[in-house]
Amino acid sequence: MNRFLFTFAILWVIWIGLTSSFNIQELIAGAVVSLIIASFSYKTFTEYGLKFFSPKRIYYIFKYLVVFLIALVKANFDVARRVIDPKLPINPGIVEYKTQLTDNAAKVILADSITLTPGTLTVDIRDDKLYIHWIDVVSKEPDIIYREIGEKFENVLKEIFQ
């Protein structure tokens, strides 16, 4: 029942976000559709339940959003600078990023966050390694790759998922 309610809540929030409406008819329609979908998919949708929404995790989810938005803005400016000024170095390549995350959902969120940040693209995830195309490979050293690409994301994701 816990997983069902979690799935329903996530689906309903997505519905509200997509419709951008707090009209009572829209809310009821979204609840009905979310209930139907949740009844068929809650067993495979997630392994988490409502316990996932503890105050500590909610705090770190908001913190993650802030960290992600800051990284997104910085990366956008960096890529824009490289486009505007062709003298800036571009040294593209694929690097191996070793993550310390153990939860699969956390790894996927990390990979998506890296991909959504301009200048990087997660190509593959294998066990505890992410293969990332990086617009300007500054080093092949694992410590530098970890620090430059995803350390900030990973530190907050550890708090959310472990």
pLDDT in tens, 22-47: 899 999 999 999 999 999 887 776 66
Contact 98, 142 (CB under 8 A): yes
- Of the candidates 151, 161, 157, 158, the one whose C-alpha atom is nearest the C-alpha of residue 71 is 151
In angstroms, the CA 116 to CA 106 distance is: 15
Strand partners for 95: 132
In angstroms, the CA 149 to CA 155 distance is: 12
- 66 class by beta-carbon count within 10 Å (0-12 exposed, 13-18 middle, 19+ buried): exposed
Contact 108, 125 (CB under 8 A): yes
Contact 120, 133 (CB under 8 A): yes
Query: pLDDT per residue over 76-135, tens digit each?
Result: 999 999 889 888 878 899 999 999 999 888 999 999 999 999 999 999 999 999 999 999
Residue 52 has pLDDT above 80, yes or no: no
What is the reported pLDDT for 10? 87
